[in-house]
Each structure stands twice: as C-alpha cells, then as structure tokens.
Copies of this chain bind each other. A is one copy, B any other.
Amino acid sequence: MESSILVVGSVALDSVKTPFGQADEVLGGSATYFSVAASFFSRIRVVAVVGTDFGDDHAAMFKRHNIDTDGLVRTDGRTFRWKGEYSYDLNEARTLDTQLNVFESFEPTIPTSYKASDYVFLGNIDPELQLQVLDQIEQPRIVACDTMNFWIDGKLDELKRTLRRVDILLINDGETRMLAGEANLVRAAHKIMAMGPRILIVKRGEYGVLMFNENSIFGAPAFPLEEVYDPTGAGDSFAGGFMGYLAQAGELTDDALRRAIIFGSVMASFNVEKFSLDGLSRLTRTDIDTRFGQFKKLTHFEAL
C-alpha cells in the first residue's frame, strides 16, 4: 500500500511582490506548498482551515495532485492572508500584512480516515496545535516538524514538549542557533538532538542544507539557478520533497535520508524559479528525477 503523509499547516491567499513581478491573493500557505511538492512521491492528507472565500479554483489545485482534502475545513469567515515583498537579494521576505482570519481560532481535528497515518508533517504553526495533532494520531512511524523564531521566542516550553515527540526537525540556521543558545552550528545541532529529534535538518536558503543525525553529517549546496523569481514556499517545498521521498522509500536509512535531502532541494529549486505555485504545479516525475541527476553532477567528486 502506498504510504500516506498527514500534513497540518496553513492554507493562505498570498499577495507577493518581488523585483520581477507580483501576484495578488494567490493560493499559498505552508500546507499547500508542502502538499503539492510531496504529491509527486506519496499520498497526501491535508489538515487546515479555509474561509468561505476559498474557491473551487483553489480546491482544484489539490484535486489535480490527488491530495486528500477531507481534513481541509471550511468555516465562516475569510481565509488566512499574507502579504509580503522581497528585495533584490531575495533572501528574506518583508511581511507587509498578516490577517489570520479563520486561522485565529483553528483547532485541528483529524478525520477518522487520517488517524492511521504513518508519516506526519507538522507545519510551522503554534506548537500547542502541533501537539493537539499528534495526540489524535494513532501510532505515526515518523513525525517531522517545522517551527520559527516567533515560537522559539514566545512558546519555548510548549515547543520543547512538541520536540520530545518529533523524529525530524527542519529549521534554518538562525533558528538552530537561537533554539540551542549556541553560536557554533555543530554544537547547537547536538544540543537540539538532545531535546528529542534524532535528525536535525538545517536549511540555509541559497547556501543549501546540512543534515545531522547521531552518526553523520550530510551537506548539500542549493541548486544554482539563473532565474530566481519568488522564494515564497521554498522551505515547505523542500520539506514536501524530503518527506514525500522518505515515505515512498519506506525506510529511514542514511542512504534514504540523503536522497530525501536532495529531492527536497530539487523541489525547492523548482519552486523558486517561478511565481507562486507555478514552479511546482506542472512538473512531471521525469523533470524531478532529471534534476536529481544534475544535483549528483553538481556535488560529485572522485574519492582518493
């Protein structure tokens, strides 16, 4: 049977401006980018909330990728909205406006059909909600989790409770140093692994990724691109490719984890090349495998 991944996170309407163009109220959010990226590898079940303004055209994106939306609850009110812009270096978004709307009172309820999910991805939401989700799932094999400086700063105890039940944590390097209270990244990683996660993935944007586990460190550069249009969703696309491949591989060996990191990097690279979801939504598995091969060429050297 094909593996299923349950993802909880945000489904949003994003308005994004970069030096190369802009988009208004287009489908976005962590759960959306994750789901679409992961759908090329595994069956995806999404848990999120939207408002009455969430249209059939938005729903069609999930349907086209065979994403199970039984857990996508529609409630009275407006969908979560995020508005941001990027300057030329494209490294960090400047948030212009955030309207939580229906997301403000989001209480994730896991449909019965989702309760036996083997793989769980906790998108970057309140760590108390992440725990609520975990409490409703029977016996997940692998739990991965994203978080951010806002929760590290404001809900550290709650976050630490969540981390005790997490196998894989994905955060950026600033968040790694902040969560560990340690400037050296290797020492910071070991401190965080002592909090629960046996695998830590440190995302470094255009510089790539480092993955730490008890036995080894794996490092990969980001795919060098001539065109970077819109970095929105890069981290969630990475997580989607990573978890999607892991669930497909069905094992947590070092080999599988390393390939999963590369598939994550592949999905992030496709995502940033175009606006919004355009970089992901029209891909084929052949496109993905071809870029995986290009990654091998990018990083390979002969041993002594």
Nearest Cβ on chain B to A55's Cβ, whole angstroms: 35
Contact A219 B303 (CB under 8 A): no
Which interface class (under 10, 10 to 19, 20 to 34, 35 or more) fits A? 35 or more
Contact B299 A220 (CB under 8 A): yes
Which one of A29-37, A140-148, A255-263 is at the interface?
Answer: A255-263
Contact B297 A301 (CB under 8 A): no
Which one of A110-118, A152-160, A288-296 is at the interface?
Answer: A288-296
Contacts of A304 in B (CB 8 A): 289, 292-293
* A296-B303, A304-B289 known; A224+B228 contact, CB < 8 A: no
Contact A220 B221 (CB under 8 A): yes
Contact B218 A210 (CB under 8 A): no
Complex Cα–Cα for A17 and B299 (A): 35
Is A96 in the interface zone, CB < 8 Å from B? no
Contacts of A252 in B (CB 8 A): none
Chain B: CB-nearest residue to A190? B226
Contacts of A186 in B (CB 8 A): 224-226
Contact A218 B298 (CB under 8 A): yes
Is A150 in the interface zone, CB < 8 Å from B? no
Complex Cα–Cα for A301 and B304 (A): 17
Q: 1/0 contact trace for A223-265 toward B, CB 8 Å?
A: 0111110000000000000000000000000010011011000
Complex Cα–Cα for A228 and B3 (A): 42
Contact B301 A259 (CB under 8 A): yes
Complex Cα–Cα for A297 and B216 (A): 8
Nearest Cβ on chain B to A68's Cβ, whole angstroms: 27
Nearest Cβ on chain B to A304's Cβ, whole angstroms: 6
Contacts of A90 in B (CB 8 A): 183
Partner of A89, one of B89, B183, B217, B299: B183
Contacts of A217 in B (CB 8 A): 224, 298
Complex Cα–Cα for A226 and B187 (A): 6
Given contacts A221-B221, A262-B301, A292-B304, 7 further A-B contacts (CB under 8 A): A184-B227, A204-B207, A207-B208, A219-B298, A220-B221, A220-B301, A259-B301
